[in-house]
Structure 1
Amino acid sequence: MATLTDIVDFLDKELNIAEIPDYSGAMNGLQIENGGEVNRVAAAVDASLPVFEKAVADKVDLLVVHHGMFWQGAQKITGSTYRKLKLAMDAGMALYSSHIPLDVHPAWGNNRLLANELGMTKAEPFFDWKGIQLGLRQQTDLDLDSLVASVTQAVGGRVHVCNGGSSQAGMVGIITGGAGSEVAAMAEEGINTFITGEGPHWSYPLAEELGINLIYAGHYATETFGVKALTAVLRGEFDVSSTFIDHPTGL
């Protein structure tokens, strides 16, 4: 048996949540506590009601997510918010969330793990955001079609491609999640092919005009890697059982 305090202290330190900036609604760290014991951990991308229901049914003591409960800021404890809190508290299930600290982690991060899946094992941090480097980039000798095939395999589903640039992938930049609005910034950074999860409609024609390739691989799909890695780490460090709760949004 592991204690919740030990696991939270470990995650807070390893993810460096006190130092890494984020959106105010992320509220990285422990969001719901339990009675203090953890035997079973689950990973999920979103702290949604269906995920809570699946976790409680699976007798999970600690749910680790990428997107936590409080993206909209202060909320009334009604509707789905009440139902999630009641489910968790009645079942003794804690909730831990890590957003950008998990995206950028050098070993367990969504960016790093996706880059590894694509064979970009020498990718280096780039793109300054609030004093941290938000993405990874690497010069490649891949053609675009081969890279698209690799991304498709890595995320396990169809990706959306804007062939705005060369047939060669060139300098590839990765920022998982919803970074499509940074297309212009990617061009300024010298990125030839930008891989992210999703973005606004206008990012497609802008990528064409800027002459860069854009690969939208899914917000959800590009952010499954980190939470899966966290539960594997916890399984090794604390001898807990673990599972992944797959609840894709299709976005």
Structure 2
Amino acid sequence: MVSLQEIVTYLDEELRIGDIPDYSGAVNGLQLENGGTVTKVAAAVDASLSVVQAAVAEGADLLVVHHGMFWQGTQPLTRAFYKKIKTAMDGGLAIYSAHLPLDVHPVLGNNALLMSALGFEPSGSFMDYKGLKVGLTVETVISRDELVRRVVASVGGPVHLSPGGPEDIRKIGVVTGGAGSEIAICTREGIDTFITGEGPHWSYPLAEELGVNLLYAGHYATETFGVKALAERLSRVFGLATAFIDRPTGL
């Protein structure tokens, strides 16, 4: 049994919660407290009702997620939102969320871990968000077909390719999640291949026009890495049992 506050303090410092800018609805950090202690940690991408129900059923008293409970902004505590909060509180489940702080972490981050799964060591960063570089780059020599095979193996699912760039790749950019609308930035950075989760329809023809290979590997699939690593870190540091709650969206 570990103090919730001790875990929160550790996570806030490790993830630099107070220093990393983010969308206001992310509400990074502790979103819901419990009675004050933790014995088991559940990890998931989204703090959805089904995830909260599964976490309580697992006997977890702390849920760490990438997408927290307040993405839609202020809303009344009614219907599904009320049920989610009540389920968590009745089950003694605290909820901690880390969005961009988890994306950009050099060890536990989604970007860094996807790069590692692909067999690369990042050599640079790109894509500015409020003064923060949210993406990673690597200069390498690899065929497009081989890279697609590696991405499929890394995320364990399909990859949608817009083959607008060269077959022989020289510079790759990675931003997990939904960064497809930012593809134009790649050309300014000399990136010929961009890997992300998802994006708008128009990004496909734009990739062709810009001469960039665009790989959509799934918003959900590219963002399972960080929460899994975070739960493993908490298990190692605090000796807690962990569980990963898999609720893929197919997006």
Pairwise CA distance, 1:169: 2.0
For the residues of structure 2 that align with 1:124 and 1:37, how far apart are their CA atoms?
40
1:233 paired to 2:245: no
Moved more, 157-166 or 115-124: 115-124
Aligned counterparts, 1:56-205, within 5 A: 56-205=56-205
For the residues of structure 2 that align with 1:168 and 1:220, how far apart are their CA atoms?
28
Aligned counterparts, 1:22-41, within 5 A: 22-41=22-41
Pairwise CA distance, 1:227: 0.2
Counterpart amino acid of 1:56? Answer: V
Cα RMSD of the aligned pairs, angstroms, is 0.7
Counterpart amino acid of 2:84? Answer: K
Counterpart amino acid of 1:171? Answer: K
Task: Give 3-state SS (helix, strand or coil) of 1:9's partner.
Answer: helix
Pairwise CA distance, 1:189: 1.3
Counterpart amino acid of 1:230? Answer: L
For the residues of structure 2 that align with 1:27 and 1:122, how far apart are their CA atoms?
28
Q: What are the superposed Cα offsets for residues 145-185 of structure 1, whole Å, 9 maximum, x if unpaired?
A: 00000000000001000000110121000000000000111
Identity level (%): 61
Pairwise CA distance, 1:125: 2.0
For the residues of structure 1 that align with 2:122 and 2:213, how far apart are their CA atoms?
21
Task: Give 3-state SS (helix, strand or coil) of 2:70's partner.
Answer: coil
Please list every run of 5 or more consecutive structure 2 residues that lacks an aligned counterpart in the other structure.
Answer: none
> Any conservation in 2 of the 1:115–1:123 contact (CA below 8 Å)?
no
Please list every run of 5 or more consecutive structure 1 residues that lacks an aligned counterpart in the other structure.
Answer: none
Task: Give 3-state SS (helix, strand or coil) of 2:63's partner.
Answer: strand
Question: Normalization by structure 2: what TM-score?
Answer: 0.99
Q: What are the superposed Cα offsets for residues 179-224 of structure 1, whole Å, 9 maximum, x if unpaired?
A: 0000111111111000000000000000000001000000000000
For the residues of structure 1 that align with 2:72 and 2:33, how far apart are their CA atoms?
20
For the residues of structure 1 that align with 2:190 and 2:122, how far apart are their CA atoms?
17
Task: Give 3-state SS (helix, strand or coil) of 2:88's partner.
Answer: helix
For the residues of structure 2 that align with 1:22 and 1:206, how far apart are their CA atoms?
27
Pairwise CA distance, 1:72: 1.0
Task: Give 3-state SS (helix, strand or coil) of 1:66's partner.
Answer: strand
> Any conservation in 1 of the 2:122–2:136 contact (CA below 8 Å)?
no
The equivalent of 2:15 in structure 1 is 15
Question: Normalization by structure 1: what TM-score?
Answer: 0.99
For the residues of structure 2 that align with 1:81 and 1:186, how far apart are their CA atoms?
38
Counterpart amino acid of 1:75? Answer: Q
